[in-house]
């Protein structure tokens, strides 16, 4: 919401609230951003001086503020404080951060059907709480709807009236915004909850097309079209057009009830959120709980030829499983498992399924990728661990054979060297006995020498 500096004529303190910025001005008065001593921010509206001098307006305004205190709902701005006896009556509501629906559409263009239905379901729930309190808003329009991070919020109950009250502040003067007023408001008839249903239908049509369903023009032209001409819904999506047309019926009895409208919009929001026109609601927790959750994200979904291919794959996966989905041209084809592969001669002969890939849900070893040295990569289990495949078992067998052969060769060499004598074979030098000084001359182990 745009903020402006306070002007010289603007008050700085109203009641117990200090004013900081201007939030806007309307037919009832000026809205300011204020805060109390605890730092709580509020949107405070001060009534215009000419309306403050009208005793009839004061009395009706007092009744409506009393009724607004009874409104309990998450889709409305809660009333915080009010002073009806001041020279210029004022009331303060909870400040809602976020852009208005009017500003959002004006900047980003029409919203998707999923977004419109989600916002409409939340607003209808808010109107249900308002109507249960015996109050009719009477001026529901895109600029009076704020898109907060927690969902859309209805604001500005400054001209709300009790059910059945007249719609004229002065004779011949209608209160509200042309293009969003109901025909009974223009005629000066009593307002009912159906009056807000008409305004909500016009607001949602604006959200779909970025234009009023009664076009543009002067106030007189717009009011005439509201009473005598049908609403133009050419740009409204087919999913919402019939429902919005019933909301914009000239006769209040032909419009849906607030509860019925809420239920139907929830159904449309759920259907459109998972259809081709909208993305899935992320972490959704009810209609309107974060209006941006229904926003379409083109980068998350395929478009054009990819979208057709994606839809065909989903359709094929949803069948009885007789055929596998056709792979995307830009992706390598996934290896088929053994269950879908026709039985070959090896499997028919009853060979080991591990070697032929005949076991269900397991690929043949030939389909596994290989490394630089030709060794296959290990199989990864569903639990994230590794289990040895046939390649690792073959490697282990080769290592064992190599070790055994090496040991046998070493033992053979040792045995061959041992046959040549212990001194040579084992490299151990044994002392040669020497004949004693008085011994004979026959040599070792001779007559003159004793065997040690």
Give 15's DSSP letter.
T
Give the closest residue to 232 by CA, choosing from 247, 250, 212, 217: 212
Q: Which of 139, 156, 196, 391 is catalytic?
A: 139
Q: Give the angle 175-179-181 at the CA atoms, nearest 5°.
A: 40
| E strand spans, 7-75 | 13-14, 17-25, 29-35, 41-47
Q: Which residues contact 39 (CB under 8 A, 6 or more apart)?
A: none
Where helices occur in 342-443 by DSSP H, the ranges are: 345-348, 353-356, 390-418, 422-426
The CA–CA distances, whole Å, from 73 to 91, 96, 124 equal 18, 14, 11
Give 331's DSSP letter.
S
* Residue labelled with tokens 């004793």: 450
Q: Which residues contact 270 (CB under 8 A, 6 or more apart)?
A: 281
Look up 139 and say whether it is catalytic.
yes
β-partners of residue 436 are none
Which positions are annotated as active-site residues? 139
């Amino acid at each position: 919401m745009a903020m402006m500096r306070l002007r010289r004529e603007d008050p700085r303190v109203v009641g117990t609230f200090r004013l900081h910025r201007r939030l806007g001005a309307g037919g009832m008065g000026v809205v300011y951003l204020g805060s109390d001593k605890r730092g709580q921010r509020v949107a405070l509206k001060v009534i215009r001086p000419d309306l403050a001098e009208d005793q009839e307006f004061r009395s009706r305004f007092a009744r409506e503020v009393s009724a607004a205190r009874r409104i309990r709902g998450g889709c409305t701005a809660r009333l915080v404080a009010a002073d009806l006896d001041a020279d210029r009556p004022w009331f303060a509501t909870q400040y809602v951060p976020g852009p208005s629906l009017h500003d959002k559409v004006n900047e980003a263009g029409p919203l998707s059907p999923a977004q419109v239905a989600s916002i409409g379901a939340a607003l209808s729930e808010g109107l249900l709480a308002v109507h249960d309190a015996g109050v009719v808003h009477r001026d529901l329009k895109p600029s009076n709807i704020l898109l907060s991070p927690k969902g859309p919020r209805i604001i500005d109950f400054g001209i709300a009236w009790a059910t059945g009250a007249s719609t004229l502040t002065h004779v011949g003067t209608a209160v509200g915004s042309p293009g969003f007023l109901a025909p009974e408001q223009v005629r000066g008839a009593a307002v009912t909850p159906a009056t807000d249903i008409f305004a909500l239908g016009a607001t949602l049509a604006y959200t779909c097309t970025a234009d009023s369903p009664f076009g543009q023009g002067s106030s007189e032209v717009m009011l005439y079209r509201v009473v005598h001409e049908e609403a133009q819904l050419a740009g409204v999506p087919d999913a919402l057009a019939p429902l919005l047309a019933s909301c914009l019926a000239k006769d209040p009895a032909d419009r849906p009830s607030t509860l019925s409208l809420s239920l139907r919009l929830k159904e449309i929001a759920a259907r459109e959120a998972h259809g081709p026109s909208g993305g899935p609601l992320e972490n959704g927790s009810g209609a309107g709980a974060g209006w941006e959750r229904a926003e379409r994200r083109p980068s998350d979904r395929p478009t054009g030829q990819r979208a057709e291919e994606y839809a065909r794959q989903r359709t094929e996966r949803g069948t009885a499983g007789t055929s596998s989905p056709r792979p995307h041209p830009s992706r390598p084809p996934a290896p088929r498992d053994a269950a879908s592969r026709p039985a070959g001669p090896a499997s028919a002969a009853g060979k080991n399924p591990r070697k032929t890939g005949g076991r269900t849900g397991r690929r043949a070893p030939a389909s596994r990728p290989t490394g630089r040295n030709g060794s296959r990569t290990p199989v990864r289990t569903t639990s994230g661990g590794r289990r040895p495949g046939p390649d690792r078992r073959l490697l282990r067998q080769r290592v064992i054979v190599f070790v055994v052969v090496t040991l046998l060769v070493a033992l053979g060499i040792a045995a061959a060297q041992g046959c040549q004598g212990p001194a040579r074979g084992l490299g151990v030098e044994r002392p040669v006995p020497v004949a004693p000084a008085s011994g004979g001359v026959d040599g070792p182990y001779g007559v003159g020498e004793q065997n040690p």
